[in-house]
């Protein structure tokens, strides 16, 4: 039974995990309370995090809020380096991650809008290629692990740019193979098994390389790339098990 539960947690797509999450977080977080690890998002200590992902990463998924290593890293970045928790901001969160959604929705400084094609957490049903918003509307846009799934990622980036206010910023994280110079993309690769083999997941349409930053720039953004783990102390990185290899891309509208 326990193995079956762990199998579900590791293999289910995240949008399905969302549906089961209330059961997960209520039951498992009680049994795993502890001091060894700490999730900054749900502000809870645990004896360990769950394993997660196709490569079964140890100590990855928070039992309390379902955050992963990259979510906890981004949380620290937003807290320490931006005005996100302080200023009055109009925020668009595409494909909202549940761990963030629960917290952002309660923040009184945010006017918080969520959007997606399918997510049960999204209040606006939308296609990122053509969003139902006027120009220059949002201070901040999040679209994490979205662009590797969409047909025309540069068009989607341009849409995000369009709806941002001048001076606004977006966080558009994607999986990147940093050993690769150029993004691998082929419209003829349509079978899930081939996409999994070439692009890393059955529903990914490309595998980004180090030229990801150039794609963002081609959509108009001024981009900063930060290896933010390097700016945190080692004890924090270990205790909250942050994604050390993750580069955070901050895409600003000029």
Residues that bind Zn ion (CB under 5 A): 39, 41-42, 62, 64-65, 67
What is the smallest separation between the CB atom of 43 and Zn ion, expressed in angstroms?
8
What is the smallest separation between the CB atom of 59 and Zn ion, expressed in angstroms?
13
In sequence order, the 6+-apart residues with CB closer than 8 A to the CB of 163 are 92, 131, 133, 134, 135, 136, 137, 138, 141
Place of tokens 């720039």: 217
What is the smallest separation between the CB atom of 134 and Zn ion, expressed in angstroms?
35
> Which CB sits closer to Zn ion, 46 or 208?
46
Strand partners, 33: 46
Cα separation of 157 and 143, whole Å? 10
> Which CB sits closer to Zn ion, 75 or 84?
75
* Beta strand 222-226 pairing with 248-252: antiparallel
> Which CB sits closer to Zn ion, 39 or 126?
39
Whether the CB-CB separation of 71 and 100 falls below 8 Å is answered with yes
CA dist 197 → 162, 177, 190, 193 (Å): 34, 14, 11, 6
> Which CB sits closer to Zn ion, 103 or 252?
103
> Which CB sits closer to Zn ion, 148 or 246?
246
What is the smallest separation between the CB atom of 60 and Zn ion, expressed in angstroms?
12
What is the smallest separation between the CB atom of 61 and Zn ion, expressed in angstroms?
9
């Amino acid at each position: 039974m326990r193995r079956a539960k762990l199998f579900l947690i590791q293999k289910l797509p995240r949008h399905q995990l969302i549906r089961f999450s209330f059961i997960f977080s209520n039951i498992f977080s009680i049994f795993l309370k502890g001091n060894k690890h700490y999730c900054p998002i749900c502000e809870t200590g645990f004896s360990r995090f769950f394993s997660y992902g196709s490569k079964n990463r140890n100590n990855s998924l928070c039992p309390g809020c379902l955050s992963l290593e990259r979510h906890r890293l981004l949380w620290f970045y937003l807290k320490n380096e931006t005005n996100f928790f302080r200023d009055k901001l109009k925020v668009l969160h595409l494909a909202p991650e549940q761990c963030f959604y629960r917290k952002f929705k309660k923040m009184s400084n945010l006017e918080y809008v969520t959007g997606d094609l399918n997510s049960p957490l999204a209040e606006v049903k939308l296609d990122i290629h053509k969003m139902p918003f006027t120009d220059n509307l949002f201070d901040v846009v999040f679209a994490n692990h979205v662009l590797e799934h969409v047909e025309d990622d540069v068009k989607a980036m341009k849409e995000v740019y369009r709806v941002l206010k001048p001076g606004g910023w977006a966080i558009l994280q994607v999986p990147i193979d940093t050993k690769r110079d150029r993004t691998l993309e082929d419209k003829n690769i349509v079978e899930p098994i081939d996409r999994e083999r070439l692009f890393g997941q059955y529903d990914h349409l490309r595998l980004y390389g180090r030229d990801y930053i150039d794609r963002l720039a081609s959509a108009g953004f001024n981009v900063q790339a930060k290896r933010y783990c390097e700016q945190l102390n080692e004890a924090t990185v270990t205790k909250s098990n942050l994604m050390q290899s993750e580069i955070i891309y901050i895409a600003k509208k000029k």
